[in-house]
Amino acid sequence: MEVNRSQMSRRDATRLMAQSAAGLLLTRSSFGADSTEQMSNIALVKRTIPSSGESLPVLGLGTWQAFDVGPAQSERQPVEEVLALFTKLGGRLVDSSPMYGRAEQVIGDIASKLHLRSSLFLATKVWTAGKQQGIESMERSFAKLQAQQIDLMQVHNLVDVRTQLATLRAWKEQGRVRYLGITHYVSSAYGEVAKLLRSEKLDFVQINYSLLEREAGDQILPLAQDRGVAVIVNRPFGGGDLFARVRQKPLPEWAAEFDCHSWAQFLLKWIVAHPAVTCAIPATSNARHLEDNMQGGGGRLPDTKLRQRMVEVVSGL
């Protein structure tokens, strides 16, 4: 879907919501480990943020759709369990956006209730045109997240990107945000993303990258690595389409060579094995799926030859 550089339309946003929701509705009961008893705490691989030297675990948590829930305890309980388990397993980066409905408020409420703020690396976005509108949007994010400082603020889908980056640079100097970055989710925007990586001083870029959407590996990931920009990967499961491909298919026996025991781990390990990737952010509101995902960020990772073999397997399904 082509996105207008100045402002995504409400129609485009609605279409994206529908596509993402469809992916999230796909069950993984047949893809993950047989039971949570098979999961054990393992040390997550960590990568360094080039602009600071700070390290982050390679697996984070996305909140698109998954955390857009109401205030009722029956709605909040699953995501409370997910966020608590995420930090218990060593996760840090939680990514959100004003575009994600009630997600920012839900994160803020749970983090406050469970006293998790010090364990989290909070990332959110500004998604509007105009300097004052951007400031007002970001102030609302601070309030919803109940945070005095936000670790990473990103210009969502490059909307009025240079205007918002100017504000973010001032806020970074003031200590209100620790890092700044840009995001997009479709390959049609890679040309503009590449221009910004070359012309702007950025801490992070967030981009789509998966075994189904590999284009970022051709230009964006090498360029980010060369420019010293950390990379967050969104759509790690291709919006859920990858699970549709591997449904009922046996996991290759040789996946055990890199400590992989489920398709979710297979898909995530392929991503985080790329040296330019700092963190991938699969979204879930299911604690069992979270634990399965997190296993994809630990143990051995596939080398170049194995990654190519993984591409061939998925391409052949």
pLDDT of residue 28: 45
Longest dimension (CA), the chain: 55
Residue 185 · residue 161 · CB < 8 Å: no
Instruction: For residue 244, give both structure tokens.
Output: 């549709």
Domain boundaries, the chain: 28-315
CA 154 vs CA 41, 161, 217, 260: distances in Å: 31, 9, 21, 32
Residue 258 · residue 283 · CB < 8 Å: no
pTM: 0.87
Terminal alpha carbon distance of the chain: 24
> Where does residue 307 fall: left (phi above 0), alpha (psi -120 to 50 degrees), or beta otherwise?
alpha
CA 184 vs CA 5, 94, 159, 193, 285: distances in Å: 10, 17, 10, 8, 23
| Class of 28-315 in CATH | alpha beta
pLDDT of residue 158: 97
Instruction: For residue 98, give both structure tokens.
Output: 């004003």
Strand partners, 187: none
Instruction: For residue 69, give both structure tokens.
Output: 């829930």
Q: For residues 143 and 146, what is the distance between their CA atoms, to the nearest angstrom? A: 5
Per-residue pLDDT of the chain (317 residues; tens, 9 = 90+): 333 333 333 334 333 333 333 333 333 443 444 434 444 457 899 999 999 999 999 999 999 999 999 999 999 999 999 999 999 999 999 999 999 999 999 999 999 999 999 999 999 999 999 999 999 999 999 999 999 999 999 999 999 999 999 999 999 999 999 999 999 999 999 999 999 999 999 999 999 999 999 999 999 999 999 999 999 999 999 988 899 889 889 999 999 999 999 999 999 999 999 999 999 999 999 999 999 999 999 999 999 999 999 999 999 98
pLDDT of residue 247: 86
Residue 94 · residue 83 · CB < 8 Å: yes
pLDDT of residue 250: 95
CA 56 vs CA 99, 166, 171, 194: distances in Å: 25, 26, 22, 24
